A and B are shown apart, each in its own frame.
Chain A
């Protein structure tokens, strides 16, 4: 049985889709079978970030409504043969996601994939709650900035109350993925520091992704950053995060790019 991960944040624009694609591609490069599921029905983006927008025939709503089989809707990545995408519908809205339908799709995906990564829409409504409902593990994507941190805190509360795991009285495994982090700005006090965010959210740190042009460049060419340029700073941070997801214990660092000596500040902190 595969593991179901929800990538969520509450706030929009913090990097959920980028992170879903990058982590999916990073895990798939290790040979594991990965599917990334876009739950943002009506505002789908994952197909673009993964460069599959011209190959979408069926989507998750078609599968839920019985118009297509799951295997027909799954799109295999051209560069990584163990990486798949289940796109969202762009023409429908989130009301077309039914709890029973989502449950069926996730159960089927769990059987044939090692990792099911659910890319949650922003917000705390239907789309977001359905994306997190069946998760085993949650990745909370947060920017080092107060409104993002507060929204993440709200989402953590929902993860602890509205998911199947929580309702069964179990503890949901939650990880913090700090994205768009700029150590120089944090040091100047223009940004929340890692410690501040961790203190407020009090969940273990999965990784720190530095703010980088590489992320934008990758999404413009339609490739997860971990495929577009595996040696870039954000890619290395995502690869490390993927290893931590698999249970490895790695020290969390902020990989630097050009100015490694300056940016590559080591954070003596253990993950998860």
Chain B
């Protein structure tokens, strides 16, 4: 009856980035919708199959207006996956979820108009989306020529989080209990690893974790993880390396 709890295969959680269109409506909304329709008329299906985020920064709009706007967009087959820059008070369970920490990417080409149509500058940014992995998809790793790395020469304190999806992270110092290191590549700790270390998070199963002294709360490689409880007791306090073999996390002492 507890078959859910006794499932030996852990759920795999991964971070993933998508390029999304960020729509930045301006007031009055009716006029903006007219311009949007104009854009859509020039390119049917421009918004189809594209993740769209609504950027409401600096837009004075209340909940009812927002709901109406989302409905209007739905009616145009523009499905909004998230809302950025909105006051929490105007959001609700019936509206798309709030999103934060979007990073701008380049402008997205809009379909060219024959005459001087109102310049559509609505599409501008990219957001990051974190998605639960449902199926096994071959991960396309960009073939990196020079693997970038991040050097941290201070101890990482409790509550601090170092997120470096681009490559390896090297810590010259200790990682405190309650701190976390998330790296796209390998993690090297020249000190005691007491917090969490998540290596290969962007789908790199060859990433490894190295530390001078292992007292970690949690370690993970490419989505497979082990908590302190699951780690072999005799490795505690040892210099250790951790790697992935198939779907198994392997550990071994160093030197």
Contact = CB atoms under 8 A, between A and B. Distances in A.
A193 interface: no
Contacts of B204: none
A46 B194 CA distance: 36
Interface string B40-71: 00000000000000000000000000000000
Contact of A200 (B154, B159, B160, B174): B174
B174 A156 contact: no
Contacts, number: 33
Given A157-B159, A157-B160, A160-B157, A150 B173 contact: no
Given A200-B176, A202-B173, A202-B174, A154 B155 contact: no
B157 A154 contact: yes
B248 interface: no
B158 A153 contact: yes
Interface string B143-177: 00000000000110111100000000000011011
Interface in B190-223: 192, 194
A153 B178 contact: yes
A150 B154 contact: no
B177 A150 contact: yes
Interface in B119-156: 154-155
Nearest to B173: A202
Of A124, A157, A158, most buried by chain B (CB within 10 Å of CB) is: A157
B177 A153 contact: yes
A157 B174 contact: no
Interface in B12-33: none
Interface residues on A, range: 10 to 19
B157 to A, nearest CB: 3
Main secondary structure of the interface of B (DSSP, over half): loop
B224 to A, nearest CB: 27
Contact of A150 (B155, B174, B178, B192): B178
B154 A160 contact: yes
Contacts of B192: 199-200
Contacts of A151: 158
Nearest to B176: A153
Interface in A152-198: 153-154, 156-158, 160
A160 B159 CA distance: 12
Contacts of B160: 157
Nearest to B177: A150
B173 A157 contact: no
Contacts of A160: 154, 157
A158 B176 CA distance: 14
A202 B155 CA distance: 8
Contacts of A200: 174, 176, 192, 194
Nearest to B178: A150
Contacts of B155: 202
B232 to A, nearest CB: 22
B173 A154 contact: no
Contacts of B177: 150, 153
A153 B160 CA distance: 10
Contacts of A153: 157-159, 176-178
A213 to B, nearest CB: 32
A158 B154 CA distance: 13
Contact of B178 (A124, A154, A202): A154
Nearest to B191: A202
Contacts of A157: 157-160, 179
A199 B212 CA distance: 14
Contact of B158 (A150, A199, A202): A150
A153 B179 CA distance: 10
User: Closest 9 CB pairs between A and B?
Assistant: A157-B157, A153-B158, A154-B158, A154-B159, A153-B176, A153-B157, A157-B160, A150-B158, A156-B157
26 contacts: A124-B159, A150-B176, A150-B177, A150-B178, A151-B158, A153-B157, A153-B158, A153-B159, A153-B177, A154-B157, A154-B158, A154-B159, A154-B178, A156-B157, A157-B157, A157-B158, A157-B159, A157-B160, A157-B179, A199-B192, A200-B174, A200-B176, A200-B192, A200-B194, A202-B173, A202-B174
Given A153-B177, A153-B178, A160-B154, 8 more contacts: A150-B158, A154-B178, A156-B157, A157-B157, A157-B158, A157-B160, A200-B174, A202-B173
Interface of A: 124, 150-151, 153-154, 156-158, 160, 199-200, 202
Interface of B: 154-155, 157-160, 173-174, 176-179, 192, 194
